Chains A and B, each alone.
Chain A
Amino acid sequence: MPDPDRGVGRGNAFWAGLALPGVVWLCLFFLLPFYVILCVALGSVHPIFQTPRPEWNPLLWRTGAFEFVFEGLFSSGAGFQKVFLRTFAYVAIATALSLLIAYPVAYFIARFGGRWKGLLLVGLIAPFFISYLMRMLAWINLLQDDGWVNDVLVWIGIFDEPRNWLDGRASSVILGLVYGYVPFMILPLYAFLDRIDRSLLEAARDLGASPFEAFRLVTLPLSMPAILAGIVIIALPMFGDYYTTDLLSQSPQTSMIGNQIFLYIRGGQQIPVGAALVVVLMLFLTVLMGYYVVSTARAHRRLGG
């Protein structure tokens, strides 16, 4: 297939010009804000009102807020470290669970959807049209002591009496995260799996592979880029989640780094600390992102692309 990026040679400026408004917008409202965060984190506060005073001049930057954050991150047992590790664990588990759910569903609809594909797709897309919060509230309703989940579980006999799912346990929060984010993973996976060339699979079967082997040796490696992309799409934003635990738990035991950021940014006294936390989070996510980019390139090369 011809290189789709092969630009129409002359008129390169034309294309750049077309992209310019969007790029300028993003610079102004995406990149610039990051610099502002940095300057707030490295700035000072008014001595009495403690409103942040961003420091624009790099030569006058103060590292107090960052020192506080690093101290909290790297001394064992300190608050930020606990929260960060916990967030990492939640995101890892929730992402893994999401993948285990998303892949089979996407695979089934892509390969075996047939006549029902349109309808199934609508079912997949439906969660996008419903507010995440509404879905979460609906879930909370079901999870309450007198809610349907307990009713069903007791009726089936798994439990003798209703369990308090909302008492601040990690499993409720993780499942809440999965419930909220899994639709974002299914769609890209589906889009990709839908485009996989069937003839490759048929060739594998013709050569004697069992259905499972065909899947393992052909489909799975081919879908690695999509899997990686899906992981990145839900894991990175999930790191900043704070409202899922606020709705489902309200317990310090399940707080995520987003909650700490929220506390400091909306808390009045130490906004630079909040800004520093945001910077640290973004640096961490950039490292993860870099890992993704490198893996994708490697996967690309392996496929001969």
Chain B
Amino acid sequence: MARIREWWSNPWGKPRFLALFTMLYLVWSIVPILIAIRFSFNDGRSRSTAQGWSLRWYLDDPDLSIRNDPDLHTALFQSLRLATIAVLVTVPLGVALAIGLTRWRGRGAGTSRAVSLATLVTPEIVMGTALLLVFVHVLTFIPLGTIAQAIGHITFSLVFVLIIVRGRLLAIGPEYEEAARDLGATQFQALRLALLPMLVPATVASAIIVFAISMDDFVISQFLSSGTATDTVPVRIYSTGRTAPTPALNALATLTLGLTLVVALVGYLLWRGVRAARGGTGSALQDFAALDAEPLR
């Protein structure tokens, strides 16, 4: 208690108002989700009155649990499928794009940069409409459904990889590659051996972000869906949430959250392992947050 009073009256301490404000924000941001997670384990049918704890909506309920309601677990698998495809395609494409755009000088470079960043500020309904019309009237050999949705996800998340990796590149600068080239490496070898290792945390971070964005995506998945079989979790939540939702919906969202966290954790641990193997020291989390790969050098 005395410590709190001391902290409160210390003029050199952290600004109290800001601290309180930040805490309030975090509470406002996260508590509703915690509540939603709690109700996913509700034993009864209500999503607002606490009625005990059970795994009913995940496994046991004969018709409506995730395991037994095909619409729900189909949505989960579709989300996973799309997110995986998105990561596998977007990350290499985006890293190459970032490196190329950052170093490229000359005709078309500026325009390409502008175009690449344009998806960030384009509303999803615009992209959804555009892609829907394209697949229905022009590229009709691509049916609506998983392929169309995957294309939409990749197009939408490319810019995030671009920003993260390009930000890192600008901070790194070309010195390392130049040093490598001075020592006799070709352009390509310099890229592969000097630059790419330094981009590992940025790459891992962008992979995690693309995964999260893809799992979370609603508009594009809805517009380009071909039916229940290709509905993703957010689309399911939207359509069921407005009629007669059961806590199974909360369970679905909780599982999605869990999966995304697992992917993030795996990515982080992977990077930490690589870093330790190369003799890095200090706080791995801090370095990761700063996308700092110095220790890998």
Direct A–B contact in complex, judged by CB atoms less than 8 Å apart: yes
Please list the residues of chain A having a beta carbon within 8 angstroms of any beta carbon in chain B.
1-2, 4-8, 11-12, 14-23, 25-27, 29-34, 36-37, 40, 52, 54, 101, 104-105, 107-109, 112, 114, 117-118, 120-121, 123-124, 126-135, 137-142, 144, 146-148, 179, 182-183, 191, 194, 232-233, 236-243, 246-247, 258, 261-262, 265, 271, 274-275, 278, 281-282, 285, 289
Known interface pairs A12-B105, A117-B286; A275-B18 also in contact (CB < 8 Å): no
Q: Are A109 and B22 in contact (CB under 8 A)?
A: yes
Q: Are A30 and B237 in contact (CB under 8 A)?
A: no
Bound Cα distance from A17 to B118, whole angstroms: 21
Whole-angstrom distance between the alpha carbons of A31 and B215 in the complex?
Answer: 24
Please tell me which stretch of B2-10, B65-73, B169-177, B272-280 contacts chain A, meaning at least 4 of its Cβ atoms lie within 8 angstroms of it. Answer: B169-177
Interchain CB contact (< 8 A) of A12 among B106, B237, B242: B106
| Binary flags per residue of B7-32, CB closer than 8 Å to A gives 1, else 0 | 00000001100110110011011101
Q: How far is the CA of A1 from the CA of B174 in the complex (A)?
A: 12
In the complex, are the beta carbons of A130 and B33 less than 8 A apart?
yes
The answer to whether B105 touches A36, judged by C-beta atoms less than 8 angstroms apart, is: no
B119 at the interface (CB under 8 A from A): yes
Given A36-B130, A52-B133, A128-B213, 6 more pairs with CB closer than 8 A: A7-B103, A7-B104, A25-B154, A133-B218, A133-B237, A138-B33
Q: Which A residues are in CB contact (< 8 Å) with B260?
A: 129
Residue B199, interface by CB 8 Å: no
Partner among B19, B28, B47, B126 whose Cβ is within 8 Å of the Cβ of A281: B126
Closest A residue to B13 using CB positions:
A112
Interface range for B? 35 or more
From A1, A54, A140, A240, name the one whose CB has the most chain B CB atoms within 10 angstroms.
Answer: A240
Chain B residues lying within 8 Å of A140, measured Cβ to Cβ, are 241
The answer to whether A33 and B104 have CB atoms under 8 Å apart is no
Complex alpha-carbon distance, A107 and B32, angstroms: 24
- The listed residue (A27, A147, A179) touching B48 by CB distance below 8 A is A147
Query: Chain A contacts of B122 at CB under 8 A?
Result: 30, 236-237, 240, 282, 285
Is A135 a contact of B125 with CB atoms below 8 Å? Answer: no
**Is A146 touching B155 in the complex (CB atoms < 8 A)?**
no
A-B contact pairs, 25 of them (CB 8 A): A5-B103, A11-B187, A12-B104, A18-B103, A23-B116, A32-B138, A34-B130, A36-B130, A36-B137, A117-B289, A120-B26, A121-B289, A123-B29, A129-B264, A130-B33, A130-B216, A137-B36, A137-B241, A138-B36, A242-B125, A265-B129, A275-B133, A282-B126, A285-B123, A289-B121
Q: Mark B231-258, 1 if CB is under 8 A from A, else 0.
A: 0011001100110010001100100110
Contact among B26, B127, B218 for A30, CB-based, below 8 A: B127
* Main SS at interface, chain A: helix
Shortest Cβ distance from B108 into A: residue: A16
Do residues A285 and B15 form an inter-chain contact, with CB atoms below 8 A? Answer: no
Q: Which residues of A contact B171 (CB under 8 A)?
A: 4
By beta carbon, the residue of chain A nearest B89 is A25
B212–A133 touching, CB < 8 Å? no
- Specify which of B36, B97, B151 is in contact with A19 (CB 8 Å cutoff): B97
From B121, B134, B237, B242, give the contact of A134 (CB < 8 A). B237
What 8 A-B pairs have minimum CB-CB distances, sorted nearest first? A240-B123, A19-B100, A22-B97, A33-B130, A18-B100, A134-B253, A138-B32, A236-B121
Contacts of A8 in B (CB 8 A): 103, 174, 177-178, 181, 187
Contact A104 B261 (CB under 8 A): no
Q: How far is B36's CA from A120's CA once the two chains are assembled, in angstroms?
A: 21
Min C-beta distance of A20 to chain B, whole Å: 7
Task: Give the CA-CA distance A236 to B121 in the complex, in Å.
Answer: 5
Contact A108 B22 (CB under 8 A): yes
Instruction: List residues of chain B with CB within 8 A of the CB of A239.
Output: 123
- Hey, which chain A residues are within 8 Å of B134, CB to CB? 29, 32-33, 36
Are the CB atoms of B48 and A144 closer together than 8 Å?
A: yes
B132 at the binding interface (Cβ < 8 Å): yes
Q: Is the CB of B25 within 8 A of A25?
A: no
A243 neighbours in B (Cβ, 8 Å): 218-219, 238
| B133 engages A15 (CB within 8 Å) | no
Chain A CB within 8 A of B131 CB: yes
**In the bound complex, CA of A128 to CA of B33 (Å):** 12
